[in-house]
Structure formats: C-alpha cells, structure tokens
Amino acid sequence: MWPFLLKRLLLAIPALWALATAVFLLSRMLPGTFASERLLQNNAPGYYSKGTEADKQAAYTLYMKRTGLDLPLFYLSVAPANGLPAAQNKLPAESSQIQDRQRSFAYLTPSVSWHGSQNQYHQWLVGALHGNLGESYRTSRPVTESLLEAIGNTFWLLLISMVLTFALALELSIQMIRKKGKWLRRALLPFLFITDSVPSFVLALLLLVFLANPDFLQLFPVYGMGYYTPDQLTAWQEMVQRAYYMALPMLCLVLFNLPYLTNQVYASLHTAMQADFARTARAKGLGESAVVRGHALRNALLPIITIVSDFIPALVTGTFIVETIFAVPGIGRMLIEAVLSRDYPVLTGIVLLIAAFRIVAFVMADIAYAWADPRIRQQTQ
C-alpha cells in the first residue's frame, strides 16, 4: 500500500512543478508590470503621480530592487547580441551603407548569457520550497500568511458541503432504487437535470435575491462572515454564528453539486443491484433495505470514489464562485481579486495550493479505495 502511494505522489510532483513554473514564468515575462503601471505612468493613481520624472524613476528602481524584479528571469537568457537596433530614422546619416547594412542585421545573432543562481526563478523556487511564496504586490503582505488566513473558510465550506451533498446523494439514491421509490425517481431526476443546467452563479444570485432580500424573504444574512463579532464568544456561539452566515452559500453549493453526484451514485447503485450477488441476497430472503444497504451499497461505492475525486475540480470551482458572490473571505475571493488586480505572487501561490490540494485528494482517493475494497488491499501488499 505505502510504496504504491509513494509512487503516485512522486509521479504527481513533476506535473505540479511544471504547472507552477509555467504560471510563474508567464506572469513575469509579460510586459506591463504592476510597478511600471503604478509608478511610471503619468496618470497613475496615488502618490507618485505628482513627482518629477527623476523621482518616479528612482522610486521605480528602488521598488524593483526591493522586490528582486530587477534580476534576470531565468538561469539562461537569449537576447539579440548588440541589443535591438535603434529605430530607422535615428541611424546616423553619415555612416556608410555597408556599415549600415552590417549593423542593421546584427540583431539576428543571438547571444546566450548564463546568470547562475542570481535570477528570479531560482529565488522564487528556493523560497517556495521553504514555504515562502513572496509578497503580494497589492497589499505587500507575505502570500503564505494571507493564504493561511483565507484557507479556513474555504476548507470548511468545501468539506461540509461535500459531506452534506454526498450524504444526501447516497440517501436519495437509496430511496430511489427501492420499488416504492418510483414516484420519487420520476419527480427527482428531471428536477436534478434542470438544476444541473442552471449555471452556478445564476443559482447563487437567485438564492441571494429571493432568500436574503428585504423585498422578498429576509431569511439569511446577505454578505460575508459578519462584521461585528463580540469578543467573548464561546466556541459554541461562534460556531452558530458562522453557521448562520455559511448557510446560504452551503445551500447553494449543495444544490449545485447534487445533480451530478446523485446521478452517478444512482447509476452505480443500479448496476450493483443487477449483479448476481444482489439476486442471491434477495433469493435468500433478505428485505429490500438489507439488500441495498448491506450488499449493494458497498460495491457501488467503489466507482463512486473515483467519481468524487474526479469531481473535485468542479467542486473547487463552485466553491470559488459562491465565495465571490457571497463575499466569504476565502481563497476563491482572493483569486478573483488577484486576477482583477494582476497580483501575480498571490496568483502563483493559489495555483500551487490548488494543485497540491488535488494531489492530496488523489492520495486520499487511493486510501479510500483500499478501505472500501479488501481485494486492492491484498494486491498492493
């Protein structure tokens, strides 16, 4: 079991590294950095717009030096040998034509230079391995710190909604598979099909408009996690308050994820009920509930583990959208804000975090497999 898990982990690391590197390099290669937009432009907002040109340049250089952005990007760089030629009208008029021609094609020879470890990528990679993901451009706070702050809300939202959805999907499928469940099946499956085609942000907004609005029904608080919290709350009180604020986002996520999961669980359970062992169980006189819960369910769970672990990206996406709409201070809202303000260190950090989460989910799925199926445990030992 454990060597097998270790192998999967080791195989996942190159993908993680490739993705993070690609995002990092892309984010740094593109023109128009945060600093040049903020500090150098004349109509830039804020303090620096009033300074002279030299002041701005000095502030810009200082900023680049402080954040390490003045270093070369990668270990290796390829650039035109003599720099780019000046624009054509600025060429000295007295130079002879041959020299002129020679100079004008010099830019085609590349020159390769080696920078050693004094480059942005190396420093970022070393920092990331030490758990330091740099500082946010926007707030100048360490990315790791703000990620740690935000991850709690997202994690609980994700976990609780997943457990709720899964339990609901299981129970609904069990009810539907029974002989008496025919009417439920007729009503529920079309309803789920329709719910599935409502985009998540529309669903969230509809709930927001109709359930948290003085014009219709004011059942839930609208935004965020509450602004004023008295200091001395017991753990229990705090949980209740949090649950109150989390209720609507949670409902939204459950509604959003339920159709797919129920469908898959139902299909899987249906297949298990057709199997020979289910017929045997019925033949030896077990009740319907005992056949479903005692015999079919465990076998139906196996494909469901894969389905749930494959479903995690959609789950994360849904959580992010819901977080942004209900203004829950979590990773998703941070991501959208970082995208809108082009805060690349935060973006890279979030990408790394999500990719790592996915790998953990894969490993957990493997463990769950071994738990659900004794045959796999036997094989891998």
Partner 1 sequence: MRQLRKDIQILWAENLIFRGAASFLCLLLLLALLLPWLPLAYTPNQLDLAHLYQAPFSKPFSVQSHYLGTDGLGRDVLANVLHGIRTAFFISVPVMVLATLLGLALGMVAGFFGDTGLSLRRRGMLVLVFGMASMSYYGVYLPLQLAVADQGAGKIAASMGMGIALPMLLSAVLAILSKRVQFLRESVAIPLDQLVLRLTETMSTIPRFVLILVLASFTPPSVPLLSLIIVLTLWTNTARLARAELMRIKQLPYFEAARSIGLNSWQLMWRQAAPNLLGPVLVAFTFGLGSLLALESTLSFFNIGVPSDLVSWGRTIASIRANTGAWWLVAFPGALLTLTILALYTCSHYLNKIISKKNAA
Residues that bind partner 1 (CB under 8 A): 15-16, 18-19, 23, 26-27, 30-31, 78, 80, 84-85, 87-88, 104-105, 107-108, 110, 193-194, 196-202, 205-206, 208-210, 212-216, 222, 313-314, 316-317, 320-321, 324, 335-336, 338-340, 342, 344, 347, 350-351, 354-355, 358-359
The residues facing 49 across adjacent strands are none
Contact 176, 184 (CB under 8 A): yes
CB of 358 to partner 1, least distance (A): 6
Cα gap 349→358, rounded to integer Å? 14
∠ Cα 160 307 354 (to 5°): 60
Cα gap 73→24, rounded to integer Å? 10
Query: Please, which residue, 216 or 277, has the CB nearer to partner 1?
Result: 216
Query: Please, which residue, 299 or 319, has the CB nearer to partner 1?
Result: 319
CB of 203 to partner 1, least distance (A): 9
Distance of CA 104 to the CA centre of its chain: 48
3-class DSSP assignment, residue 354: helix
Distance of CA 109 to the CA centre of its chain: 42
Query: Please, which residue, 281 or 347, has the CB nearer to partner 1?
Result: 347
CB of 334 to partner 1, least distance (A): 12
Number of continuous H segments (helices) and E segments (strands) in the chain: 15, 2
Query: Please, which residue, 5 or 286, has the CB nearer to partner 1?
Result: 5
Give how far Cα 321 sits from Cα of 201, 333, 337, 358, 378, Å: 6, 8, 12, 18, 42
Query: Please, which residue, 174 or 347, has the CB nearer to partner 1?
Result: 347
CB of 25 to partner 1, least distance (A): 11
CB of 284 to partner 1, least distance (A): 31
Query: Please, which residue, 337 or 373, has the CB nearer to partner 1?
Result: 337
Listed in sequence order, the residues at least 6 apart from 334 whose beta carbon sits closer than 8 Å to its beta carbon are 146, 147, 150, 346, 350
CB of 104 to partner 1, least distance (A): 8
